[in-house]
Amino acid sequence: MLLYYCLYFLALIFFLVVVLKTRLKFHFIYFVSYSLFLNVILGFGCFGMFILGLIRPRNPDNCAGAVWMLRSCRLFLQWPFKVEVRGRENIPSDHSFILMPNHQSLFDSYFLSYVWPKRCVPMMKKSLLYMTGIFGITSWLNGSVFIDRQDRASSISTCNKCVEMVTDKKIRIVVFPEGTRNMKGSHLLPFKKGAFHMAKQCGGIKLMPVVVSTLQPRLKDGSFRLVPGKVIVSVLPAIETTDKSVDELVKDSYYKMDSEFEKLNKEID
C-alpha cells in the first residue's frame, strides 16, 4: 500500500506540473478520474498482478484479477463515463471465440471489463513488452500474447501459437482488428486480417464483435478536459466463420461493426 500511495502522490505532482507548465485547459473531474485510473492500473493493480503472475505464470485465469481491478475503477470513473452495455447475452459461456473490439484509447480496457469473458487473454503489439516497464512483463506473466507487426514471419508464428491456445486450452483471445488506436475518425479503420485467419485455422470458431461508441465527445485532444456523458458498449451477435473466406469475413465484420459504430454515435450526447 505504501508503494501505491507514493505512486499516486508522484502522479498528482506530475499532472499539476504539466497543467501549470503548458497552461492546458484543466478539468477537475478529468484530473481525478484519469490520475486515479492510471495509478490503480500502473500502481497497486499492476503490482498485484505481477505477484499473481509469479505465482501462476502464463495462466489465462489470471486475467480475471485484472478485470476485477478494472471493475473497481467504476467507483470513480462512473462520474465521467455513464456506461450502457447492450448484447451481453450474445457472449457464449461454453466455448472459445475471438473477441474483436474497436480501439480508441487507454480507457478501452475499462469499457471491455463490462463484458470480458472468462479465460480470455489480450493480443498486444510487441513493443508494449519492452516500453512500459512493469506493465509489459506483468502482461506476459498473466498470459497476454505479443505480436511483432513489423516481422511477418514472427506474426505468423504468433498466430499459430494462438491457434494452439484456442484449440487445445479453450482460451478466448481479444484482438483489435483495426490494429491501432482511432479516435479522430467517424468510421473504423480498415481491419487487419490476422484475427480472421486465426478463426479459420481454429476450425471456424466464432468472431465476437464489440463496438464502443466514439470517445471524441468525452476526451478532448490537447487538453486535460473530459466532458461527462454516455458511452455505449455493444456486443453484436457472433459471426460464423466456417462457410466464408477470410476476405468475406473481413468485409462482413467491418460492415457490421462500422454500421453499429455509426448508429451508437448518433445516440450519445
For the chain, how many structural domains are there in total? 1
Domain that holds residue 200: 2-267
Structure confidence at residue 210 (pLDDT): 98
Q: What is the CATH number of the domain that holds 82?
A: 3.40.1130
Q: Specify the 3-state DSSP secondary structure of 46.
A: helix
Structure confidence at residue 29 (pLDDT): 56
Structure confidence at residue 10 (pLDDT): 57
Grid cell, residue 196, equals 480472421
Structure confidence at residue 262 (pLDDT): 96
Structure confidence at residue 9 (pLDDT): 60
Q: Which pLDDT tens digits describe the chain residue by residue (269 residues)?
A: 455 556 556 555 555 555 554 444 445 556 666 666 666 665 667 778 888 899 999 899 999 888 888 887 787 778 778 999 999 999 988 889 999 999 998 889 999 999 999 999 999 988 888 866 688 888 999 999 998 877 878 887 888 888 888 888 889 999 999 999 998 878 999 999 999 999 999 888 999 999 999 998 887 665 556 778 899 999 999 999 999 999 999 999 999 999 999 999 999 86
What's the rounded Cα separation, in Å, for the pair 200 and 153?
A: 18
Judged on CB neighbours under 10 Å (0-12, 13-18, 19+), 63 is: buried
CA atoms within 13 A on the CB side of 202: 29
146 neighbors 128 (Cβ within 8 angstroms): yes
